Chain A
Amino acid sequence: MTKRLMEGSEAIAEAMVAAGCRFFSGYPMTPFTEVLEHMAKLLPGVGGVCMNAESELEAVGMAWGAAAAGVRSATGSVGQGLSLMQESLSEMCYARVPVVVINMARGQGDYFQATRGGGHGDYRHIVLAPCDINEAVHVTQLAFHLADQWRNPVTLLGDYYLAHVQEAADPQRVDFGPLPAKDWALDGTSSGTGKAKIVSPLSSGKRSPESQIGYGAHLEAIAGRVRAMAEGVEPLVEVGFVDDAELVVVAYGTPGRYVRYAVGKLRDAGLAVGFVRPITLWPFPSRAVAEATANARAVAVYELNTGQMFDDVRLAVRNVPVHFIGQMSFDGSGFGIAPALGVSSLEERIRATYEQREMVAS
């Protein structure tokens, strides 16, 4: 067990390999590029394959093909590239293909894309959003476990900071317990047996004298799984100082880390503030948010957009006013670092809400 200094993108790549990921495909786009570079370096050494796909459409298709063979497989991009992949990101849920999607988002404008999806149809990805590198090492591996457990794509939602900040980490394999055998995966051996397997977004099986599996029945099974995931996936969440907090601030990802620090400082200054940091964004930790805010007189949501997770918080919180204190990124480079993402600016916004003053966007 030796920790060494590594940037987030390398730590995520190391964690993927530790989790047993043996196929990765991607198309360069910063800050996802760095993850792709590290996978290209790491995978050949462990007998894996890293593909430089010709486009995001092909990257997701390749990962789909490898996952259908039962190999732990991942792809990814940033929000723009994932927009191109949406058809597959949706249909992979219907085909029940356990692909992990590394979404190194540029800002936080892609919360809706990650949790609601930009694709067609009625589908969900489990979404995990770590706030630092050691947490990323853990939840990256959890993503592969959950993907196999539920036979559903899982998205790891990172950001520009997470990709580039360096921290000491030691990505070792984490054991999350046993998983069902991948008896559905394709290897050719069931061809010609009268019971050849199929992995398809259109049906759960081939026809046989006993059954003609229709699309309706397939969709019913998919709907059942969405319900099962919504209830069965235990959402991860970090809470702090909430027991006696009058104001609770909700934030995720790197800004969640800033909020945690700012709230700690304001506590030291005597303000009764607390924070909730959802790590699992779907299913949203509604119960934990409701419990953490039950005794507060106000809730504030900080995110680098015009208010997206804000909707989920409002759905979760009962009888307490919810204020939006975030801000869209105006960063010309497009990497989503809002002017407000600084401890003093954050403290000011939290303090203003705490004192019930009207917030004016700076």
Chain B
Amino acid sequence: MKQIPVVPSDRPPTRPARLIDDFTPPLVLPGEHHLCPGCGEPAVMRSAAEIIDESQLTNRAIGVIGIGCYTAFSSSLDIEVLQALHGRAPSLATGLKRVRPENIVFTVQGDGDMVNEGLQEVIHTAARGEPITAILLNNGVFGETGGHMTATTVIGQRTKNTLEGRDAKAHGHPIRLSNIMAGLDGVAYVARGATNSAGNVARTRRMLKRAFDLQEAGAGFTFVEVLTMCPTGWFIDTAEAPDYLEANLAAVHSIGVLKDIAA
């Protein structure tokens, strides 16, 4: 952690008497990210960038980014990016890491991208033990299309195509991907964090740090799922989204470390 300078009090002040620092996040190009107010995704992207910066992995880092709202970060992160199609990030990351094993490769996919479209890909990549870090941004809806059901939508959750709420009889059950991942050989680390509180963001940062450390150590496939708010896709007020996440998503997709082979 970097030290925030404190204005010294044992001599006359040379600058205004308040705590000041440059809080510009590292590895982000200037400009707006165009995501909705209250979205949980920017906090994850910022955390990942900060961990890469703090761990001094920057000049070896390549992100493979899927298709969803978070694709906005493909052009605004000051990290090399290989843009993948919807569902296909794990296979691109596999090809990349196999020919550049010295690089730190991470993927970013949403629940629609990873758990719907690309489920087969991510499971095989995990089972092969590809030494990459896969990040799942799970908000339980297709945010970019305007709030439709995904494979992780919880029972009872209203979406644009489950207007009366997701009903197991009609729409099936949500897939808890982290729980499946934890059972696979080849997987070194599985954790599920969230962005609905400062505490959970800090916890998610520690999970990301652990995942990147294990990738660097060549331990195998590392997986961090993060529950993120999507007030737009959940059709609720922005301020209610953190509590909604806790009461609904986290009740099904429980937060915590599910696997750590080196712990």
Contacts and interface: CB of A to CB of B under 8 A. Distances in A.
Interface residues of B, number: 43
B82 A199 contact: yes
Contacts of B88: 57-58, 61, 64, 88
Contact of A188 (B62, B71, B120): B62
A51 interface: yes
Interface of B: 26-27, 29-31, 52-53, 58-62, 64, 71, 74-85, 88, 90-100, 103-104, 120-121, 124
Contacts of A187: 62, 80, 100, 103
A314 interface: no
Contacts of A73: 95, 99
Given A25-B95, A49-B99, A186 B82 contact: yes
A57 B91 CA distance: 9
Helix, strand, loop or mixed for chain A's interface?
loop
Q: Which 8 A-B pairs have the closest CB atoms?
A: A65-B95, A61-B91, A200-B83, A65-B92, A66-B95, A62-B95, A192-B58, A65-B96
B29 A188 contact: no
Interface string A19-62: 00011010000000000000000000000010101110111111
B51 to A, nearest CB: 13
A85 B179 CA distance: 30
B80 A198 contact: yes
A66 B75 contact: no
Contacts of B58: 191-192
Contact of B92 (A64, A189, A190): A64
Interface of A: 22-23, 25, 49, 51, 53-55, 57-69, 71, 73, 87-88, 91, 95, 186-194, 196-203, 205-209, 212-213
A198 B75 contact: yes
Contacts, number: 163
A232 B137 CA distance: 44
B85 A208 contact: no
Nearest to A194: B78
Contacts of A64: 88, 91-92, 95
Highest count of chain A CB atoms <10 Å: which of B58, B60, B64, B98? B98
A169 to B, nearest CB: 28
A196 B77 CA distance: 8
B75 A65 contact: no
Contacts of B90: 58, 61
Contacts of B60: 188-189, 191
Given A69-B99, A69-B100, A188-B59, A194 B29 contact: yes
Given A54-B120, A66-B99, A198 B31 contact: no
B80 A91 contact: no
A57 B121 contact: yes
B160 to A, nearest CB: 24
Nearest to A65: B95
Contacts of A198: 74-75, 80-83
A206 B76 contact: yes
